[in-house]
Amino acid sequence: EPGTITNTAQVQSTDQPDVDSTPANNIEDEDDQDSATISTVSDIDLSLEKTASIESVKVGEQFSYILTLTNDGPSKATGIEVSEQLPTTVTYIGASANEGIYVSSTGVWSIDELEAGASATLTIDVTASTEGEVVNVAQVSAADQPDVDSTPANNDPDEDDQDDATVNVAGKV
């Protein structure tokens, strides 16, 4: 877990008297005792996979975007946010997640914590409203811990915390 670790060392005994300290008395102000403190940071490895339930639809047809977020650890991830702004060429119907909450008005999927080795899934149901190729990008936009191989919210398609799904929308149903 993230936090701090303090290690204290102290002289426990001597063969001769010490002129300015007493061994083994646990008084920090004496020169026979000292402490060192270090901060610990736990790394995470979040990856995001995004798919569409179908590759081709007609205007007015419903389909889903499925996002799967995985934490490959080694530590538990907390304070996770995934940016999932729906394109204006689809109409939002609803969403369900097995972890966290998706707020369509902000386009943010928030997950309080995700254990190492665990995955979370978000399914967003939409209706195609405009013809053409619809590319929808999602990415991890925040996490409390550093990710070992990606940077949240940097819009880098080569990192594993970002993915997209393409759906081709043809004429009306």
pLDDT band of residue 172 (cuts 50, 70, 90) is confident
pLDDT band of residue 18 (cuts 50, 70, 90) is confident
Please tell me the distance from the alpha carbon of residue 103 to that of residue 92, in angstroms, as a whole number: 11
- Residue, of 35 and 166, whose pLDDT is higher: 166
Q: Is the C-alpha dihedral spanning 32, 35, 36, 42 positive or negative?
A: positive
- Residue, of 103 and 4, whose pLDDT is higher: 103
Predicted TM-score (pTM) of this structure: 0.77
State the pLDDT at residue 158. Answer: 97
- Which CA distances in Å does 37 have to 6, 32, 69, 85? 4, 17, 34, 42
- In this structure, of 20-34, 49-63, 79-93, 144-158, the range with the lowest mean pLDDT score is 20-34
